[in-house]
Amino acid sequence: MELVKPEIGLIFWTSLSFLILLFILGKFAWKPILGALTERELFIEDSLNKAEAAKEEMESLVKKNDDLLKQARAERDLILQEAKKIKDQMIADAKLTAAKEGARMIEQAKLEINNQKAIAMADIKNQVSTLSLDIAEKVLRKQFEDHKKQEELVGELLKEVTLN
Amino acid sequence: MNNKLILNSKLLSKIIIYAVFLLSYALPHQVFAKDKEEAGDEKKFNVKEIIFEHISDSHSWHIFGKLSIPLPIILYTDRGIEVFSSDKIINSEEGKEAIYKGSHYSYKINGNKIVALDASGKEDLRASGKLLDFSITKNVASMWLAILILLLIFFKVASSYSKNKGKAPKGLQSLIEPLIVFVRDDVAIPNIGIKYARYMPLLLTVFFFILINNLLGLVPIFPGGYNLTGNIAVTLTLSVIALIVVNFSVNKYYWKHIFAPDIPLWLYIIMVPVEMIGIISRPFALMIRLFANITAGHIIVLSLVSLIFIFNTLWISPISVLFVVFMDVIELLVAFLQAYIFTMLMSLFIGMAVEEHHH
């Protein structure tokens, strides 16, 4: 039964050696090793997180770009539509204005024509009267030697004529 | 593929040639040995004695044959301390008793035990009873060797951590790192929880101390082949360390669980003693488990080798060697397994002690 009887010497040396080993390894091995391990793991985790964040950012950027593109397209469509509308409006407006102007001009022309006609008529009347006077003078001169009596007659006659 | 086969067959034929050569050399020897035995010169082969000699501690460090290193003997007697070399009392020749006359008593070795003799040359029972043996035995010396190896390994590894900081492990570092990470991630953290960092140095030291001694114990030649982790004194020491650490890191929940558990009052009569026994029985189980596993492994391997000598024929050796190789492979597994189990259970007990309860 010597096998299961612990010897005091071995217990003593084992305790002493183990505690010294624990102390030395704890101070000079485990501390730096575990520290380095943790540091490296943190670094790796951090890098992974960063990569993940970068990926997410990339994705969001692409999405943003897409959105921007879509928005720009929509805006362009809107602008084009607006422009078309404005163009149509302008054409319609122009047409309307032109028609109005035309009508106004025609009206004015008519007025002018009427005026001119009136002026021409008055002129014609004058000329006709002068001409008729001349003609009558010449006729009457031939017929009437006596100037005085003739002119009196003509004057009376002219008074009777009413112009239309 | 073809090349490999040729190489293998070449190797095989070589092995066969050597085996035959060895056998032819050995067989006449056997006959000679038999003659000797018949003549009564040879002591009868005693398996039990051989095996126990191998698995127990010794005052000299056997190298091979009759060559061994004497080790210092340190005795604490009631009259003072005695220090002398073990070759003074270990007789190299059979049948002759060596007695060392120290300054306080005379000493001789009785089996593995040193006893004090009185002036008349008879054993002084009173002095022997008070004699404390603090000798540097084979186990102590090999333990120091193992510690030296551990220190060399881990100083090297620690320096490579500072050398290639933040880089992938290299060389010895990459061999050791998985073990360290294993102890941390699969032993300490699951069992202890967030307070694991405090216990990491202890757990790692225990793990590698047991592991290296288990492995060196498997090496059959000097300086390996000792049985340190299969020695009850060593496992007792480790268990006591576990016991102390566990009971110094307890919180109030642990004591509440033992002395005032949430059970009906009449059950206290049973439960409190059971729990108090549990404080001791857990490290006790640690002690027995490691001791029994490693000692059993050594006994099996030695028994298988002894088969050759029991049958007294070399013809049994192929079977014996085959089984020894098989056992050695299993022992290799056991070396890791026992180091793992000891560390795991230790962290489990620590985990039970530091656990926060949320009722």
Determine what percent of chain A falls in helix, strand and coil, rounding each to the nearest 5: 95, 0, 5
Domain spans, chain B: 1-37, 60-136, 139-354
Nearest neighbour of A12 by CB, restricted to B134, B158, B197: B134
Phi/psi for B235 (5° steps) reads -65, -30
A71 touches B at CB < 8 Å: no
Q: Which of B53, B37, B82, B33 is nearest to B226 (CA)?
A: B53
Among chain B residues, the shortest Cα distance to A9 is held by: B134
At residue B10, does pLDDT exceed 80?
Answer: no
Name the band, by pLDDT with cuts 50, 70 and 90, for residue A98. very high
A131 occurs within a structural domain: yes
A1 touches B at CB < 8 Å: no
Looking at every residue in chain A, the average pLDDT score rounds to 88
Q: What average pLDDT does this structure show over A66-91?
A: 94
Tokens at B178, concatenated:
């998985």
Nearest C-alpha of chain A: how many angstroms from B293? 13
Going from the C-alpha of B198 to that of each of A99, B161, B180, B357, the distances in angstroms are 99, 21, 15, 20
- Enumerate the H helices of chain B as residue ranges: 2-39, 47-55, 125-130, 138-163, 172-182, 189-192, 200-218, 232-248, 252-259, 268-311, 317-354
For residues B61 and B141, is the Cβ–Cβ distance under 8 A? yes
Tokens at A8, concatenated:
């005091």
Residue carrying the six token digits 């029972």: B125
Name the band, by pLDDT with cuts 50, 70 and 90, for residue B30. very low
How do residues B227-267 score in pLDDT, each as one tens digit? 899 999 999 999 999 999 998 888 878 888 777 777 888 88
- The residues facing B107 across adjacent strands are B100, B116
For residues B152 and A26, is the Cβ–Cβ distance under 8 A? no
Residue carrying the six token digits 């070759």: B87
SS3 B358: coil
A41 occurs within a structural domain: yes
Looking at every residue in chain B, the average pLDDT score rounds to 83
Tokens at A56, concatenated:
């997410």
A20 occurs within a structural domain: yes
Q: Do A9 and B140 touch (CB under 8 A)?
A: yes
A105 occurs within a structural domain: yes
Q: How many whole angstroms separate alpha carbon B116 and alpha carbon B128?
A: 5
Q: How many whole angstroms separate alpha carbon B136 and alpha carbon B253?
A: 43
Name the band, by pLDDT with cuts 50, 70 and 90, for residue B1. very low
Number of domains in chain A: 1
At residue B4, does pLDDT exceed 70?
Answer: no
Most A CBs within 10 A among B52, B134, B179, hence the mutation to make, goes to B134
- Enumerate the H helices of B106-251 as residue ranges: 125-130, 138-163, 172-182, 189-192, 200-218, 232-248
Q: What average pLDDT does this structure show over B316-339?
A: 92
Range of the domain at A119: 8-160
Name the band, by pLDDT with cuts 50, 70 and 90, for residue B340. very high
Lowest mean pLDDT among A72-81, B88-97, B249-258, B347-356: B88-97
At residue A88, does pLDDT exceed 60?
Answer: yes
Predicted pLDDT at A90: 93
How do residues A5-47 score in pLDDT, each as one tens digit? 888 899 999 999 999 999 999 999 999 999 988 888 899 999 9
Burial of B72 (0-12, 13-18, 19+ CB in 10 A): middle
Q: At what angle do helices B317-354 and B232-248 cross, to 10 degrees?
A: 20
For residues B85 and B102, is the Cβ–Cβ distance under 8 A? no
Q: What percent of chain B has pLDDT over 90?
A: 36
A1 occurs within a structural domain: no
Q: How many whole angstroms separate alpha carbon B330 and alpha carbon B239?
A: 25
The amino acid occupying position B268 is: Y
- The residues facing B75 across adjacent strands are B82, B133
Most B CBs within 10 A among A5, A11, A14, hence the mutation to make, goes to A14
How do residues A104-118 score in pLDDT, each as one tens digit? 999 999 999 999 889
- Residues in B closer than 8 angstroms to A14, CB to CB, are 140, 143, 233-234, 237-238
**Alpha carbon distance, N-terminus to C-terminus of chain B:** 66
Return the top range by mean pLDDT from A155-164, B22-31, B106-115: B106-115
Q: How many whole angstroms separate alpha carbon B26 and alpha carbon B46?
A: 21
Name the band, by pLDDT with cuts 50, 70 and 90, for residue B32. very low
- Strands of the sheet containing B72-77, edge to edge, are B80-85, B72-77, B132-133
At residue B34, does pLDDT exceed 50?
Answer: no
Q: Do B205 and A22 touch (CB under 8 A)?
A: yes
At residue B164, does pLDDT exceed 70?
Answer: yes
Q: Which of A5, A11, A151 is nearest to B238 (CA)?
A: A11
For residues B218 and B146, is the Cβ–Cβ distance under 8 A? no
Predicted pLDDT at A131: 84
